[in-house]
Amino acid sequence: MKTRIYNARILTMEEGRDIFRGELQIEDGRILYIGTSPKSGEAWDEEIDAGGNLIMPGFKNAHTHSAMTFLRSYADDMKLQEWLYEKVFPAEAKLTGEDIYWLTKLAIMEYLTSGITAAFDMYKLKAHSARAAQETGFRMTFCGDLNDFGGTVDDMEQDYLKYNEDPESLLSYRIGFHAEYTTNRKLMEEIAALAGKYKAPVCVHCSETKREVEECRERTGMTPVAYMDSLGLFRHGGVLFHGVHMDEADFDIIKERGIAVVTNPASNLKLASGIAPVKRYLDLGIPMAIGTDGPASNNCLDMFREMFLATGLQKVVCDDPEAVPAMDVLRMAAVTGAEAMGLSDCRTLTAGSRADLIMIDLMQPNMRPIHNIEKNIVYSGSKQNIKMTMVNGKVLYRDGAFLFGESPETIYENAERIAERILG
């Protein structure tokens, strides 16, 4: 499959490289050529006229629970811990693998409408999410979700080996567990040992709420970051989801261990969890990425909302309108997200990289006039501006149509049926 995208503005997201006009040539899922002086005379399977619109790397949703689509707008307006224990866990207990397959497909559709080309997905029964991702052609990195209520370290090791075996696969896997407050010490030590064996980072929900931090201090005398670090979990780095409530010693550990933090600002607002110190992390040089969190808490899977919040909230909290400029936000959403997921060839648009890219519709009133496209995207962009989403060289979404070969109605009907069965 050879594809050419021409007549484009291109933002490669390489450090220091401005937007230029040019074209991309793609073969078998990878970018063969990107620049202003294309090789001509080739035969193309597909030629796409970008019409002057912007091509840039797709967004990476660096923290989500895709199959939770069935809980969207079901149990809103509750505190996180009650919400989790009284509503979410009992409903989730009724999910079958087949349910997860359909609900993950629904989430993937929404990712595509938001220009998201890869998701870092933490959920149970991964074989079924895997099938949903493979059938739709979507890139998914699984995050281990071990906790006291399910899973074993042996299973995690098998998944780790299985999903990371084929570097050409759309799927990959990172060691992880749910959270300090749902996982006993012995299990965390076993996870640390597994991470040590593969010299791998450990990914985990961390310091999302004040209560979580306070209860950990009561139990262990330490913050979640310090406690988990004391168990050796971050010897080879890690990824913290949320990271809202941190003290000075936490920042030191995160910096020293090379840990990345994924912020989920909409979910943190909606559950009244707090506002993560994004500017502080960035000032310290800590790699930052952005996630939507699951659709039960957010309730949508919209990278544009998250991007505006990632900067807007910092401006008001830090009383500094210059806090977290637009390019930093785009880098978090498109580049560092890939790093947090271990996707080394999905970062920027360069020859040899994966063709995971999006076309931003500049022929919309919210993108006009064009003073600064990057700022327009972060401060004015919306899902309506996603004209095309391509994963691994295949166009999965274009001009509002889903092109992965299954009708949206089938997916909607299955999601409604599952929600009805479980929630009544």
Phi, psi of 66 (to 5 degrees): -55, -45
131 contact partners, CB below 8 Å, separation of at least 6: 101
Classify strands 20-27 and 30-35 as parallel, antiparallel or unpaired: antiparallel
Min separation Cβ 346 and a copy of itself, Å? 22
Min separation Cβ 363 and a copy of itself, Å? 7
Query: Using the rule CB under 8 A, which residue among 266, 332, 340, 391 binds a copy of itself?
Result: 266
186 contact partners, CB below 8 Å, separation of at least 6: none
**In the window 345-384, what residues touch a copy of itself (CB under 8 A)?**
363-366, 368-372, 375-376, 379-384
How far apart, in whole angstroms, are the C-alpha atoms of residue 35 and residue 50? 14
Contact window for a copy of itself (CB under 8 A) among 179-187, 196-204, 216-224, 295-303: 295-303
Which one, 254 or 367, has the nearer CB to a copy of itself?
367
How far apart, in whole angstroms, are the C-alpha atoms of residue 278 and residue 275? 8
Number of H helices, E strands in the chain: 17, 18
Which one, 204 or 313, has the nearer CB to a copy of itself?
313
By the rule CB under 8 A, 65 interacts with a copy of itself? no
By the rule CB under 8 A, 226 interacts with a copy of itself? no
DSSP helix/strand/coil, 394? strand
Query: Using the rule CB under 8 A, which residue among 302, 333, 336, 358 binds a copy of itself?
Result: 302
Which one, 3 or 66, has the nearer CB to a copy of itself?
66
By the rule CB under 8 A, 301 interacts with a copy of itself? yes
Which one, 190 or 328, has the nearer CB to a copy of itself?
328
Which one, 236 or 315, has the nearer CB to a copy of itself?
315
Min separation Cβ 396 and a copy of itself, Å? 13
How far is the CA of 366 from the CAs of 80, 116, 303, 382, in angstroms? 35, 20, 16, 9
Query: Using the rule CB under 8 A, which residue among 312, 327, 350, 398 binds a copy of itself?
Result: 312
Closest CA to 358 of 394, 331, 379, 387: 387
